[in-house]
Chains A and B, each alone.
Chain A
Amino acid sequence: AQSVTQPDIHITVSEGASLELRCNYSYGATPYLFWYVQSPGQGLQLLLKYFSGDTLVQGIKGFEAEFKRSQSSFNLRKPSVHWSDAAEYFCAVGAGGIQGAQKLVFGQGTRLTINP
């Protein structure tokens, strides 16, 4: 069965520092991978996705992620974080379509705190 592991429950970085959030997945075929962000009191918003092709994908808000098949990883990065990036970040893998809809398996999430 598909699964997603986000090893870091909570990360704190200083404003302006670089960021990397880790994500490892388990899936037998070529995965469809996603990163979503959840700000306090809000629903989830898609940051970026990987389906195929270039393994380095660009997303919104200056985020990027790199798919590494050999490591079963899809880590999220940002060169310089802003205070507004404080949120919860979720990695997800596609687990099959459901007659045109979709099924995603999410990781546990990583809470990002930004120090001023």
Chain B
Amino acid sequence: ETGVTQTPRHLVMGMTNKKSLKCEQHLGHNAMYWYKQSAKKPLELMFVYNFKEQTENNSVPSRFSPECPNSSHLFLHLHTLQPEDSALYLCASSQSGTGYEKLFFGSGTQLSVL
């Protein structure tokens, strides 16, 4: 248990569906991240939030829409996805600071787009 909880663990959706991934951290961290993990590819940073403000959007398609209502919760809203979006989506958090703090990862949501 890392203190970062992601739901659901698995999600199957059609290309016309709308769904949301949820991430919650109980560590008192101020920075939260979404990563995409595809088979045989490096982890890709998608979004970064620091003190609820989005500070990084790594050229992610608009069919992925993040939301960070407070420092403890992070959502990823999904709509009109493509089959190539099937992947493991990992949420992480860290304590904001001037250097590189340890990232704490959730177990991920395995997404399958049909």
Contact = CB atoms under 8 A, between A and B. Distances in A.
Contact of A98 (B2, B55, B103): B55
A98 B50 contact: yes
Contacts of B97: 100
B100 A51 contact: yes
A81 B41 CA distance: 26
Interface stretch (B12-20, B73-81, B104-112): B104-112
B86 to A, nearest CB: 17
Interface in B20-34: 30-31, 33
A4 B31 CA distance: 23
Given A101-B33, A101-B56, A101-B94, A42 B100 contact: no
Contacts of A108: 40-42
Interface of B is mostly: loop
Contact of A100 (B30, B33, B45): B30
A90 B35 CA distance: 14
A104 B105 CA distance: 13
Interface of A is mostly: strand
B51 to A, nearest CB: 8
B101 A102 contact: yes
Interface residues of B, number: 32
Contact of B92 (A41, A43, A94): A43
A101 B48 contact: yes
Given A100-B98, A101-B96, A104-B45, A46 B40 contact: no
B108 to A, nearest CB: 6
Contacts of A98: 48, 50, 55-56
A102 B100 contact: yes
A97 B97 CA distance: 9
Contacts of B31: 100-102
6 contacts: A42-B107, A44-B43, A44-B92, A100-B30, A100-B50, A101-B96
Interface of A: 4, 9, 32, 34, 36, 41-46, 49, 51, 90, 94, 97-109
Given A51-B100, A99-B55, 5 more contacts: A94-B100, A98-B48, A99-B53, A101-B50, A101-B56
